[in-house]
Amino acid sequence: MPDDAAPPTDFIREIIDDDLATKKHTCVATRFPPEPNGYLHIGHAKSVCLNFGIAAQYGGTCNLRMDDTDPSGESLEFVQSIIADVRWLGFDWADRLFYASDYYERLYDYAVKLIESGRAYVCDLSPDEMRQYRGTLTEPGRESPSRGRSIGENLDLFRRMQAGEFEDGSRVLRAKIDMASPNVVMRDPVIYRIKRAAHYRTGMAWVIYPMYDFAHCLSDYLEGITHSICTLEFENNRPLYDWVLDQLVEGERPEQIEFARLNVSYTILSKRRLIDLVEKGEVDGWDDPRMPTVAGMRRRGYTPEAIRAFCAKIGIAKNENLVDIGLLEHCVRGDLNEKAPRVMAVLHPLPVVIDNYPEGRVEEFACANHPQNPEMGTRQVPFSRVLYIEREDFEETPPKKYRRLAPGREVRLRGAYVVRFAAAVRDASTGEVQEIHCTYDPETKNGPPADGRKVEGVIHWVSADHSIPAEVRLYDRLFRVADPAGVEGDAMEYLNPASLEVLKGCRVEPSLLAGKPGSRYQFERIGYFCIDLKDSSGERLVFNRIVPLRDSWSKIAGQAPG
């Protein structure tokens, strides 16, 4: 477990402290139990950090368990992505990778035991009838006509359910609890159903599958879990979790604790909706850099340290709320500010000719890779007569406080000389500035002008002949409303059409040729960027914008909410 900060405290850790003090438990064993029916997202990352973090803090263990008890939608691809993502986040489960599907045999035996003790029965009601019989929050349910079946008949029918004698949906196994319970969950819940679908691990060996409420508590028990941490929507299911264990097991048992799931603004954290985005082609797969998935954030260039810092910062709560995505970006910026080497890249190149700089001459400037960290060293950046600067670093009629290049003005080219504007060359038909001319002051290589005149602005640049062409992808919020999950109607209608902008003609300094896919940099004065893991190659450099240097969004969003 990575050592990021002092261990936090929260209501879950208080419960654990209590349990250890009262000897209810003598050790701490947690688990992270994803269903392999999609990629992990930032909400899962929170649960990963919580479960593995608690285990490490208390000297306990955390299992990785594939909660794969529903054949539809589960796959090996998802299992592999989950393994890769949890590992990338920085956590280690040693040899404790488990699959709920490995427990099918034992779960079946538990179900038989439940029938034998008269606490489960095979029910013939159709799904519709079952709904009608269930009652409502204000009215009690009615007992199924199948409820009085003998143990022998139930055992026989359950065996035949698994033998494939009955149609999907024609019969279920139900726990016999209390149809009048004020908690609807306890009104004889279904614990097994018939489903003919190939499971990615067990194939067609089983045609009956256990329901979550039956499988989860027993899986926890079989693994010796002490604290089974899950999200709030399972709060009403806790009595059932305990009921199943009460009927079937003895001795030390796991306890379920619920916390509020993470919601992040301008994105969506529901696997079903993320699958939709992928399948409808709204994004370039699960690892599209705009996706809130761990794979997407990795490709975007986020670091595991930043994601862990975010999860620690938001803490654990009992009430759902919406966390500002700006906080996640703040954590990313904070981490990269320390780690990312500085380089120069020009996204919208404007050619600049230094008229008094000799043609053919090239100087190499040693530029610091990090202004505060000399240990990160320097690199050589070539300077020549023709350069590129950002289009927006030149203004013919500059606004107040503009400290860049303009008629009559001087600026410093970062790490190189002070240059003075001389002339602008325009396109004859459009009038657009195509190129500018400057003169340089040879005395300013190692310091300010000798005559003491002030040069305030500093801009970045690259040498035209030496720079490398690159594609740069600018990412923005995936949705244009803060809470897409909370809007009426289809969230997909609120996708941000400007969430991806591709810039083709960018120029970057030649040191970037040595970069590897995934390498992260600060493009000076612009933001943090990384070399794309998928599309970048030696011939065609592709960068993703991880996060701009400063947050421009909150200002804009503040002006026009939604």
| CB-based closest residue to ligand ATP | 43
Q: Which of 271, 298, 300, 379 is catalytic?
A: 271
Q: Which is nearer to ligand ATP, 82 or 481 (CB)?
A: 82
- What's the number of CA atoms in the CB half-sphere (13 Å) around residue 25? 19
What Cα–Cα distance (Å) separates residue 113 from each residue in 106, 117, 153, 224, 248?
10, 6, 14, 20, 7
State the virtual CA torsion across 72, 73, 76, 80 in degrees, nearest 10.
-140
Binding mask 65-104 for ligand ATP (x = CB under 6 A): --x-------------------------------------
Q: Which is nearer to ligand ATP, 32 or 529 (CB)?
A: 32
Q: Minimum Å distance from CB 546 to ligand ATP?
A: 22
Catalytic annotation present for 261: yes
Q: Which is nearer to ligand ATP, 272 or 540 (CB)?
A: 272
**Rounded-to-integer distance, Cα 562 and Cα 266, Å:** 10
3-state secondary structure 311-345: HHHHCCCCCCEEECHHHHHHHHHHHHHHHCCEECE
Q: Which is nearer to ligand ATP, 288 or 390 (CB)?
A: 288
**Rounded-to-integer distance, Cα 268 and Cα 176, Å:** 38
Based on its alpha-carbon atoms, the radius of gyration of the chain, rounded to whole angstroms, reads: 31
> Coil, strand or helix: which one is 409?
coil
Catalytic annotation present for 160: no
Q: Which is nearer to ligand ATP, 85 or 410 (CB)?
A: 85
In the chain, the amino acid numbered 223 is: E
DSSP state of 404: S
> Coil, strand or helix: which one is 146?
helix
Q: Minimum Å distance from CB 32 to ligand ATP?
A: 6
Q: Which of 159, 261, 404, 420 is catalytic?
A: 261
Binding mask 260-289 for ligand ATP (x = CB under 6 A): -xx------xxxx-----------------
In the chain, the amino acid numbered 97 is: L
Q: Minimum Å distance from CB 139 to ligand ATP?
A: 29
Look at strands 378-383 and 363-368 and give their pairing: antiparallel
Residue pair 440/315 in contact by the 8 Å Cβ criterion: no
Among 75, 170, 181, 231, the residue binding ligand ATP under the rule CB under 6 A is 231
Q: Minimum Å distance from CB 439 to ligand ATP?
A: 58
Residue 246, number of CB atoms within 10 A of its CB: 13
Helix extents (H) in 480-536: none
Q: Minimum Å distance from CB 70 to ligand ATP?
A: 10
Question: Does 230 sit near ligand ATP (CB under 6 A)?
Answer: yes
Binding mask 164-203 for ligand ATP (x = CB under 6 A): ----------------------------------------
Q: Minimum Å distance from CB 86 to ligand ATP?
A: 11
Farthest CA pair distance, the chain: 104
**Rounded-to-integer distance, Cα 240 and Cα 39, Å:** 28
Q: Minimum Å distance from CB 105 to ligand ATP?
A: 23
Q: Token match 């199948």: residue?
A: 146
Q: Which is nearer to ligand ATP, 43 or 515 (CB)?
A: 43
What secondary structure does DSSP assign to 271-314, as a single string?
A: HHHHHHHHHTTSSSSTT-TTSSBHHHHHHHT--HHHHHHHHHHH
In this structure, is the dihedral angle defined by the CA atoms of residues 335, 341, 343 and 347, taken in order, positive or negative? Answer: negative
Q: Minimum Å distance from CB 222 to ligand ATP?
A: 17
Give, as ranges, the residues between 8 and 67 that touch ligand ATP (CB under 6 A): 33-35, 43-44, 46-47, 67
**Rounded-to-integer distance, Cα 21 and Cα 10, Å:** 16
Binding mask 291-330 for ligand ATP (x = CB under 6 A): ----------------------------------------
Q: Which is nearer to ligand ATP, 38 or 304 (CB)?
A: 38
Who contacts 161 (Cβ-Cβ below 8 Å, separation ≥6)?
A: 122, 171, 173, 192, 194, 207, 208
**378: phi then psi, degrees, rounded to nearest 5:** -130, 170
Give, as ranges, the residues between 415 and 454 that touch ligand ATP (CB under 6 A): none
**Rounded-to-integer distance, Cα 41 and Cα 268, Å:** 9
Q: Which of 13, 35, 385, 409 is catalytic?
A: 35
Total binding residues toward ligand ATP, as defined by CB under 6 A:
16
Tokens for 143, please give them. Answer: 């007992």
Q: Which is nearer to ligand ATP, 211 or 413 (CB)?
A: 211
In the chain, the amino acid numbered 551 is: D
* Residue 252 region by backbone torsions, left for phi larger than 0, else alpha for psi between -120 and 50, else beta: beta
Q: Which is nearer to ligand ATP, 258 or 441 (CB)?
A: 258
- What's the number of CA atoms in the CB half-sphere (13 Å) around residue 240? 26
Q: Minimum Å distance from CB 491 to ligand ATP?
A: 13
Residue 15, number of CB atoms within 10 A of its CB: 15
Q: Minimum Å distance from CB 301 to ligand ATP?
A: 22
- What's the number of CA atoms in the CB half-sphere (13 Å) around residue 163? 7
Catalytic annotation present for 271: yes
Q: Which is nearer to ligand ATP, 269 or 389 (CB)?
A: 269
Q: Which is nearer to ligand ATP, 201 or 460 (CB)?
A: 201
Q: Minimum Å distance from CB 16 to ligand ATP?
A: 17
Catalytic residues: 35, 261, 271
Interface contacts to ligand ATP, rule CB under 6 A: 33-35, 43-44, 46-47, 67, 230-231, 261-262, 269-272
